[in-house]
Each structure stands twice: as C-alpha cells, then as structure tokens.
Structure 1
Amino acid sequence: MYLLPGSLLLLIFSFSPRLSCLQLSKCNNTEVTLIRKTELLTSLTLSNCTLPHVENGFFVRFDHLLHLELQHSGLSDLDDFSLNGLTKLQYLSLSHNNLSSLRSWSSEPLGALTNLDLSHNMLSKLSVKSFEQYPQLQQLDLRYNRISQIENDSFDGLSHLKHLYLNGNQLAHIDGSFFRGLHRLSSLSLQHNRIEFIEMDSFESNTHLRSLRLDQNLLSSLQFLSQRGLARLVHLNLSSNLLQKLEPFVFSKNFELQDLDLSYNNITKLNKEALSGLDSLERLNISHNYVDKIYDESLDSLIALLQLDISFNLLTTLPDNLFHFNTQLEEIILANNKIEEISSQMMFNQNHLRYIKLSGNAISDAAFLDRLSPSVNRFTLYVDLSSNRLKSLNLSSLLHFRYINLADNNWSCNWLVANLVQKLPNSVNFARPWTVINNLSENTTNVEGIDCIEGGTNRSIILLDVSGVPQPKSDNCDCVVAYDETNPSPPPLTWPKIPTDRFDSRSVIIWMLVAIAIAFSGLRWLRRFVDRNEKRKLGQKMLHNVYVSKVQWQAIRTDPDQRS
C-alpha cells in the first residue's frame, strides 16, 4: 500500500509495473485521470482529496478494480453513470463526504459488489429502488446520516443483504414495509435514532434476523416483539429507552434469545410473565432502572441464565427462592441497591458461581456465604461486599475464596482489631486506600485505612507501611552506633550479605584461553591429517606414472624365428 501526494503519483507509478494497490492523498480530478497502467490496479484509495464532483465514466479505465475508497474528499455529487465500468468491484466506500442524494450511479448492474459504505454523509431520504443496481450486496452501511424517511421498496432487490446499519440517523418510527423482502438479513442496527413506535409487522419477513439493536431511542412499548419474525433473534439491545414496564409474555416468541439488555430505562417492576418464554436466555441486564420489587418466580423460566445484572435499582428485599431454578448462574450483580438482607437459602442451588457483587447496599449480615452450595469452587469465587453495614462476620469460612472485598463497612473496632492481629491472606481486603500526609514523608502512598465504630463513635484504623519511607539523614553523623545497656534497642535493619560466586572474571579469561588453545590444537591436528592424506595420494599417483612410463618405453624384443 502506497500513500502518495499527487505530485509524485505519475513518477512512482510509471516505475512500478507490478503495483496493484494504490493510496492517493491530497489529489484532484486531473491527477486521478493521469494515472497510467490502470489495468494493473485492483485497489484504489483516494482520501483527503479535492473531488467535489465525479463525472460520468470517471472510473471506466479502472475496470479491474476490486476495492475502491473515496473518503474525506468533499464529494457532494456523482453523475448518473459515474460508476460505469466497475463490473468487478467488490467493495465501495464513499464515507465521510457531503452526499445528500442517493442514486445507483451506474447504467448497468455492479454484479460483484458485496459491500457498500455510505456512512457519515448528509443523506436524508432513501428512495424507491435506490440500490437496484447492486443485486449481490451483503453489507450496507448508512450510519450517521440524516435519514428520516424510508420510502416503500427502498431496499427492493437486495435479497442477499445480511448486515444493515442505520444507526445515528433521525428515524422516528419503523414502518411495516421498510425491511420487507430482506429475507437473509442477519443483523440490523437502529440505535441512536428517535424511534418512538415500531409497527407490529415491521420484521415479519426478516426470519433470519439474529441481532437487533434499538438502544438510544424513545421506545415506550415492546409489543412489536410478539410477532413471529423475531423467533430466531439471539441478541437484543433495548437500553436507554423510555420503557416503564414489560408487557406480559412480550418475549414469548423469542425462542432463541440469548442476550437481552434492558438497562437505562424506567422499569419499576419485574414479574414472572414479563420474562416468560426466554428459555435460552444467558445474559440479562436490567441495571440502571427503578426496580423496587422482584416478585417470586420472576426468574424461574430463565433456566439457562449465566449472567444477571440488576445493579443500580431500588431493591430493598429479595425473595428467598429467587434463584431456585437458575442453577447455571455464574455472575450475580446486585450492587448499588438498598438490599438489607440476603437469605441463606437464596444461593444454595448455585453450583457454578464465580462472581457475586453486592457492594453499595445495606447488608448487615453475610451468613449466606456460609450456606453456599458445597459444589461451588471457592478458589475461583470473587465476592464484593464493600460499602455495606457489616459489623462482624465469620472470617474462617472466607479464607479460601479467590477474593473478597470487605472495605468501607461499619465494623466493630473491638472485633476488627482482634481479627487484624491474625495473619490474613491477600484475598481478604478490609481496607481502602487513603491519602495521608505525615512527618515521615510528604508523599506516602502505601497507606490504607479501615473505618470502625466504637461506642457509637466513628473511628478509623490506619495501616501504615513505613518500610519504604526514606529516613532523614543528619548532617552531624559520627558514624558510631549508640548502644544503651539499660534500654537496648534492636539492631538496625540491614540487607543480608549475599555470598558472591568465586568464578570471577579471571577464571573466565583463563577458561577462554584454554578453549582457544584446544581449538587451535584441534585445527592443527586436522591440518596435519589432511596433509598426510594428500602426500599419500600424491605418492601413489607418482608411482602409477612411473610404472606407465616404464611400460611405454620398454624395448620390443622380436622372436628370431619370426625374423626368418
């Protein structure tokens, strides 16, 4: 990938015969038209350029492009046939521009295009068959425009579309015809709009929808969820709306729902019918609402529940059998409520607990921790009971937890001091960090404190570790240790003497010299051995030559009988 200014584009590209990916910055129309060897390009990125208008056939020469980006370039208009010739294009991004109208911009279908990004523009309306020239489109990004109106059949012909992003627009309602025909739609993002109402049949044809985001809207009713089209929904986000109650059996048709986020609403009650039918639900978030009561059997249908968050509500009591059927629970978050008591039977059936957060309540007794299921692995269990009203507890049953936070409670000073004398494991935390300035050091950071009550009076115990505080040095040091026989003091702390290894640098040098000598001796022996072999071969060759010469120069004796 190359990031080039316009003035260097022609020079470098002319000497790069195999360049297939090109990124051009701070360019204009003329410089783009001067690009040579466009038949080699498969990816072209134009960013921070000056391209307010793209004419017809502007990209005709780039017929081999697979990837085209034109971003942050002030683009406000494209002619009707600006994208002609891009028959192989698979990805097109025109994001972060000033487009206010949407057309197909091609006289022939772009049959290979699967991903179209038009986010961060100024589109206000989607017209009929705006995308009819992109029949194979699978992902369409229209985030952060100004879309307030979607005409009927705007998405007509997009039978392969799987992901549609419409978040960050100005939609006020969802009509039943908006998404009609998108049979393969898998994820739909509608968060950060102004949606107040959704018609009952809005998602009737979207039977493959798995993820639906409707957070940051103005919804006050969830009746649209009772339609059949959302039976395969897995992830549903409804946070930051205006919901005050959950209609009975409103989730009864969402058979496969696993994640449900209802946080930051105005919900006040939670009863059994509200969550009925969510047999597959694994994660439920109802935090930051106004729930002041949870009825018995409210969670009975959530047999697959793993995580539950009801923090930042107004709960004061909890039913004893609230989690009786939720035997798969791993995380329970009930922080920042007004809960005064946790029943010892509430968590007895939980065999997989890993995280319990009860901070910021009014709990005065932690006996429920002694009645946890014997099958719970306490070595992996994290418990947060900070900022409650505990005065004492049975520490012996908590020593083997992974971590237990007990800071900021109303401890009895007598009980606290008696237990702090013992050596507690690091997994038990009573203290919270304090900032203390004292005469030992003006920057003491390793200070922790514990609040306690003695005789109705609030007191604090400061745990100060001064082992790392530097002691002031006196200018008149006689360097003699004073010793008083009548009042002996312990000797000052000194670092222990660590015996040093006698294998010092001289030994290292000697051993290196010995190794070098051995290496040279080996090389010398090897050289002598090679020389002997060469001499032996040379001698044999010479003998062979002498023998041959004798045979060649030997006188030929003739037989006297033959002469006659």
Structure 2
Amino acid sequence: MYLLPGSLLLLIFSFSAMISCLQLSKCNNTEVTLIRNTEHLTQLALSNCTLPHLANAFFVRFEHLLHLELQHSGLSDLDDFALNGLTKLQYLSLSHNNLSSLRSWSSDPLGALTNLDLGHNVLCKLRSNSFGIYPQLQQLDLRYNQISQIEEDSFDGLSHLKHLYLNGNQLAHIDGSFFGGLHRLSSLSLQHNRIEGIEMDSFESNTHLRSLRVDQNLLSSLQFLSQRGLARLVHLNLSNNVVQQLEPSVFSKNFELQDLDLSYNNITKLNKESLSGLDSLERFNISHNYVDEIYVESLDSLVALLQVDISFNRLTTLPDTLFHVNTQLEEIVLANNRIGEISSQMMLNQNHLRYIKLSGNALSDAAFLQRLSPSVNRLSLYVDLSSNRIKSVNLSSLLHFRYVNLADNNWSCDWLVANLVRKLPTSVNFARPWTVINNWSENTTKIRGIDCIEGGSNRSIILLDVSGVPQQKPDHCDCGVAYDETNPSPPPLTWPKIPTDRFDSRSVIIWMLVAIAMAFAGLRWLRRFVDRNEKRKLGQKMLQNVYVSKVQWQPISPL
C-alpha cells in the first residue's frame, strides 16, 4: 500500500492508472477530489487529514472501492448522501473522529458492507433503525463512544450481525429490547460501562451468543444468566463488578460454558449450588474476591475442569476432598490466601497436573507433594511454595520435579546449612533476590539470599558465586593483606601464593633415573635394529651365490 502526503498527489496523477491500494495522510478535501483514474482503486485509507465535513457524493467516483478508512481526521459531519456510489464497499471505518450522530449517509443501501467501525467517536445515542442501510452487516464496532441510550429497534434489520462491540460507553442499564432481532449474534462486548442491571429477557432472542463480556461494570446480581437465550454461551467474563454472592443454580442453563471469570468481585462463599450446571466448564477464575469458605461439594459439578484460580482470597482451610471429582485438572492456583495446611488426600486423584501455585500462604510443610498421584508426570510439574512458613522439606522427594520454588520461607538454619552442602539441581530454588551494599562485589543485583530462623532470631544466608568476583592485582607482590577482625565484611579475594623450593633433590634423582632408563632402552633398541640389518644383508648375499652357481653348471643340450 502506498503512503503519501497530500503534497505529493501530483505524482499520483501520472502513475495512478494501475494503483489499487492507496493510503494518504495530511490531506484535505480538495486533494482527495483531485485523485484521478479511480477505476482500479479498491482500497483507500485517509488518516491524519483535515476532513471535518464530507459533502454529498463525495466518494461517487470511487465506485469500485471495497475498503475505505477515514480515521484521525477530525470528521464531525457527513451529508445525507456522502457515501453514495459505494455499492461494492465491504469495509468502512470512520473511527477516531468527532461524529456525534448517525444518519443513513446514502440514498441506496450499501448491500455489500459487512464491517462497520465507528469506534472512538462522540456518539451519545443510537436511534431506531440507525443501521437499516447495511443489511449484510456482520461486525459493528461502536466502542469508546459516549452512548448512554439505545432506542428500541436500533439494530433492526441486522439479521446477519455476528459481532457487536459496545464497550467503553456509558450504558447504565440493559433493556430487553436492545438486542432483539439479532438472531445470529455470536459475541457481545459490554465491558467498561456503568451497567447496574440487566433485564431477564435482554438476550431472549440471541440464541447463538457464544461470548459475552460484562466486566468492568457495576453488576451486583447475575439472575439474568438463567434466561434461555444464553444457553449456548462458551465464554463469560463477569470480572470487576460488585457481585457479593452467587445465587443458587444461577448457571444451571449455561451447560456449554467453558470459560468463567468472576475475579475482582465481592464474593465471600462457594457452596454446592453456586456452580451447578457447569458440566462443560474448563477454566474457572474466582481470584481477588473475599472467599473465606468453600464447601466440600462446591466443585463437584465441574467434571471437565482444567484450570482453577482461587488466589487472593481469605481461605484458611480447604476440604480434604475439594478436588476429588475434578480428575482432569492441570492447573491449581491457591496463592495469596491464609491456608495453613494442605491435606495429603486433596490432590490424590489428579493425574494430569502441570502447575500448582500455593505461594503467599501459611503452610508449614509440603508433605502433600509426597502423596501426589503415581500417574502424575513430575518431570513436567511446576510447584510454587514460596513465601510460606516451611521450616524443612524432604528434598529427595523434590529432585525430579520440573521446578519447585521454595524461596522466602521460615527455614531452620541448621537444617538449611546441612542440606545446602550438597549441590542441588537447578529445578529446586531456595533463594530470592537480595540487595547488599559492600565493597567486594561490583554487581549486587544478582546476589541471592535465604532467610532462616536460629534460636528464635531471624538470620540470612547469602549465596554468592565467588568464581565470578573480579580479582584485584596487588601493587607489591610480597606484601600481604591484613584482616581486621572488627570489620565483619570479608577481605578482598586474591589467589593464594603457593611457596615452592628452587631445588628438590628427590625430584632430580627421580628424573635422572628415568633418563638413564630411557637411554638404556634406546641403546638396546638400536643394537637390535643393527643386528636385523646385518642378518638381512647376509641372507641376500647367500641367495645371489646360489643363483650364480645354478647358471654356471647348467648342462648344455647337444645340437
């Protein structure tokens, strides 16, 4: 695609006969009207131009356009027939402008248009039949406007619409008439509004809706989910609302739901009826709530569950059989709660675990890791137990995991020192980053340390690879460096001097004996070599005498 400022349009006049894609920036109305030979032009993009107003038939010469973008150009008004002639247009974007109202903008329907982008304008209201001239529209983008009102039948005639984006507006209530007639609607985005309530019949006719986002709103009740129009939902995001409790059987009709996000709400409890009906749910996120109690059978209906995130809540205990029915689990996230103990029976039925995160709790041991299912592939299992209160662990049981994070625990110093003497695999991590100010390491950001407890007092062990410490060359080779016992910092590291004698009699005698033995062996080999040569020459001489004798005495046959 060609990117040209308006000042270079004269170059287009001579060579535009074969141009099919053109992108202009910093242009104005006059320069756009000067474009010639538009019969081959199928894509036109105008950005950062000065086009506050479009007159009637402004694009009438661009009848072959399939793709039109007019963005970041200060557009605030279009005459009623400004889009006349664009009968083949499939994609139209008027985003990032100053449009405050919608009109037809064409005397004839734009029957080929499937994608309309009006996002990032200042639209405040959608009137009835606002999009009637786009009967084939499949995607409508109205995000980040100021829409607070939607009249009845605003989307009338959009029977082919599949994707509708209304996020980033000022909607406070969803009425039952807003989305009527959108029988093929597949995804609806309503996040970042001010929605406090959704009427029960709001999605009654949207039986093909698969994805619904209502996050970043002010919802306190989820009763609208029980309507049959949402029976085929697959993805549902309800995060960042003010939901306090999950009504019994509120998800009973969402039997195809696979992703449910309830994070950043005010939920305090999970009971058996809260999640009933979610037989197909695979990913469940209820993190950043105030959950302090989970009943024994809360997750029993989630037989297809793969990932569960209950982090950043107020849990202190967990039922021993919480995950017994969820045999397909791959990820369990319980970080940043107040859990003091994990039962050795809790994860006994999980054969597909890949990730366990329990950081930021009050665990005092990790014995449950020794009771995992024998079918679990430990070489692919990541375990995070950092920031707990563990004093010691059975290291031999952790050596074959993919990774075990044990940093920032209440280790016993005696146990820690005794076990860190042997070199542990890189898959087991005890340390956390430290910042230490000293005069013997140039790079303090890579220093790692371990906290431990000795006699009721906190201690710290710094792990430092001294092989990487730069060596300082002494000014005088014969002077040593004194160590001040009152200074707790270690002395500069230097290679020790190894004293050596100038003459070692034993070494000389040994080397002389070796030299004599080698010389004697050499003489014997040379003598044998000379003897073999003499024997070989004598044999050749005797062979020649025999041959001559045979020739000399051979009888001559008579003539």
Please state which band the TM-score falls in when normalised by the shorter chain: 0.7 to 0.9
Residue 92 of structure 1 and its aligned partner are, at CA, apart by 0.3
Residue 360 of structure 1 and its aligned partner are, at CA, apart by 0.2
Separation of aligned partners in 2, 1:348 and 1:146: 53
Partner of 2:507: none
- List aligned pairs for 1:157-196, cutoff 5 A: 157-196=157-196
Partner of 1:324: 324
Partner of 1:198: 198
TM-score, normalised by the number of residues in structure 1: 0.85
The AA in structure 2 aligned to 1:135 is P
The AA in structure 1 aligned to 2:92 is L
Separation of aligned partners in 2, 1:215 and 1:11: 50
Residue 216 of structure 1 and its aligned partner are, at CA, apart by 0.2
Partner of 1:312: 312
Separation of aligned partners in 2, 1:8 and 1:358: 62
Partner of 1:126: 126
Greater shift, 458-467 or 141-150, is seen at: 458-467
Residue 113 of structure 1 and its aligned partner are, at CA, apart by 0.2
The AA in structure 2 aligned to 1:375 is S
Cα pair distance change 1:390/1:440, threshold 3 Å: same
Superposed CA deviations along residues 403-444 of structure 1, whole A, max 9, x for unmatched, are 000011111111111111122111010111112232322433
Partner of 2:105: 105
Cα pair distance change 1:9/1:454, threshold 3 Å: same
SS of the counterpart of 1:32? helix
Separation of aligned partners in 2, 1:253 and 1:450: 51
Residue 485 of structure 1 and its aligned partner are, at CA, apart by 7.0
Residue 162 of structure 1 and its aligned partner are, at CA, apart by 0.2
- List aligned pairs for 1:464-503, cutoff 5 A: 464-477=464-477, 482-484=497-499
Separation of aligned partners in 2, 1:194 and 1:146: 11
Separation of aligned partners in 1, 2:325 and 2:149: 46
Partner of 2:437: 437
Partner of 1:274: 274
Kindly indicate whether the alpha-carbon contact (under 8 Å) linking 2:12 and 2:35 is maintained by their aligned counterparts in 1.
no
The AA in structure 2 aligned to 1:436 is V
TM-score, normalised by the number of residues in structure 2: 0.85
SS of the counterpart of 2:188? strand
- List aligned pairs for 1:368-517, cutoff 5 A: 368-477=368-477, 482-484=497-499
Separation of aligned partners in 1, 2:102 and 2:296: 54
Residue 352 of structure 1 and its aligned partner are, at CA, apart by 0.2
User: Tell me, which stretches of 5 or more residues in structure 1 are unaligned?
Assistant: 487-564
Superposed CA deviations along residues 171-230 of structure 1, whole A, max 9, x for unmatched, are 000000000000000000000000000000000100000000000000000000000000
Separation of aligned partners in 2, 1:312 and 1:427: 26
Superposed CA deviations along residues 268-318 of structure 1, whole A, max 9, x for unmatched, are 000110100000000000000000000110000000000000000000000
Separation of aligned partners in 2, 1:225 and 1:111: 35
Residue 402 of structure 1 and its aligned partner are, at CA, apart by 0.3
The AA in structure 1 aligned to 2:57 is G
Separation of aligned partners in 1, 2:345 and 2:498: 63
Partner of 2:52: 52
Separation of aligned partners in 2, 1:296 and 1:48: 60
SS of the counterpart of 2:453? strand
Residue 473 of structure 1 and its aligned partner are, at CA, apart by 1.6
Kindly indicate whether the alpha-carbon contact (under 8 Å) linking 1:22 and 1:44 is maintained by their aligned counterparts in 2.
yes
SS of the counterpart of 2:415? helix
Partner of 1:260: 260
Superposed CA deviations along residues 348-385 of structure 1, whole A, max 9, x for unmatched, are 00000000000000000211101000000000000000
Separation of aligned partners in 2, 1:320 and 1:477: 68
Kindly indicate whether the alpha-carbon contact (under 8 Å) linking 1:162 and 1:185 is maintained by their aligned counterparts in 2.
yes
- List aligned pairs for 1:230-309, cutoff 5 A: 230-309=230-309
Kindly indicate whether the alpha-carbon contact (under 8 Å) linking 2:140 and 2:161 is maintained by their aligned counterparts in 1.
yes
Separation of aligned partners in 2, 1:462 and 1:11: 69
Partner of 2:217: 217
Separation of aligned partners in 2, 1:168 and 1:332: 33
The AA in structure 1 aligned to 2:369 is L
Kindly indicate whether the alpha-carbon contact (under 8 Å) linking 1:176 and 1:200 is maintained by their aligned counterparts in 2.
yes
Kindly indicate whether the alpha-carbon contact (under 8 Å) linking 2:16 and 2:37 is maintained by their aligned counterparts in 1.
no
Separation of aligned partners in 2, 1:114 and 1:446: 55
Residue 484 of structure 1 and its aligned partner are, at CA, apart by 3.7
Partner of 2:41: 41
Kindly indicate whether the alpha-carbon contact (under 8 Å) linking 2:16 and 2:36 is maintained by their aligned counterparts in 1.
no
Kindly indicate whether the alpha-carbon contact (under 8 Å) linking 1:437 and 1:443 is maintained by their aligned counterparts in 2.
no
SS of the counterpart of 2:113? coil
The AA in structure 2 aligned to 1:337 is N
Separation of aligned partners in 1, 2:220 and 2:16: 60
Cα pair distance change 1:317/1:481, threshold 3 Å: closer
Kindly indicate whether the alpha-carbon contact (under 8 Å) linking 2:139 and 2:162 is maintained by their aligned counterparts in 1.
yes
Alignment RMSD (CA, Å): 1.5
Kindly indicate whether the alpha-carbon contact (under 8 Å) linking 1:186 and 1:211 is maintained by their aligned counterparts in 2.
yes
SS of the counterpart of 1:236? strand
Cα pair distance change 1:446/1:467, threshold 3 Å: farther
Kindly indicate whether the alpha-carbon contact (under 8 Å) linking 1:189 and 1:213 is maintained by their aligned counterparts in 2.
yes
Separation of aligned partners in 2, 1:370 and 1:147: 57
SS of the counterpart of 2:396? helix
Structure 1 outlier segments of 4+, above 3 Å? 476-486
SS of the counterpart of 2:274? helix
Percent identity over paired residues: 86
Partner of 1:78: 78
Residue 104 of structure 1 and its aligned partner are, at CA, apart by 1.5
SS of the counterpart of 2:468? coil
Greater shift, 444-453 or 339-348, is seen at: 444-453
Separation of aligned partners in 2, 1:97 and 1:65: 21
Residue 39 of structure 1 and its aligned partner are, at CA, apart by 1.1
SS of the counterpart of 2:369? helix
